[in-house]
Chains A and B, each alone.
Chain A
Amino acid sequence: MSRLVARFDVRYPSFHLSVDLDLPASGITVLFGPSGSGKTTLLRCLAGLERASDGFMQFGNDVWQDEAQGVCLPLYTRPIGYVFQEPRLFPHYNVRSNLLYGYKRIPSEERHISIEQVVNILGIEHLLERRIHKLSGGEQQRVAIGRALLTSPKLLLLDEPLTSLDIQRKQEILPFIHRLHEELHIPVIYVSHAISEILQLADRVVLLKQGKLVGAGALNEVLTSLEFRGNFGSLRVGAVLDANVASHEPQYGLTQLEFKGQFLFVPLQSVAIGQPVRVHILSSDVSLVVGRTNSPTSVLNILEATIIEIREKDQSSVDVLLDIGAPLVASITRKSLANLGLKSDQRVFAHIKAVALNEELTE
Chain B
Amino acid sequence: MPACMRTIAGIICALLIAGPAAAAAADKGLTVKGVRYFTYPGFTRIVFETEEAAPYVLTRSSDGKTLYFSSYGGPFVLRSPQLPSINDGVVKGMELRQERDHRSIIITLGPAAGDAKDFVLRGPDRIVVDVLRGAAAAVAPEAPAAKAPVVVIDAGHGGMETGIVTGQGVEKTLTLDLANAVRKLLKKSSVKMTVLLTREQDKPMTLDERAAFANAAGAVLFVSLHAATGQDARVFILDPDEGQASPSPGGPSDFQGYDAMSEQQQMLWGTQQARHAQESGRFGRGMARVLTASEAAEPEQAPLAQLKAVDSAAVLIETGMTMNRGKTAEVIAAEIVQYVSEKR
Partners in one complex: no
Which residues of B come within 8 Å of A, CB atoms? none
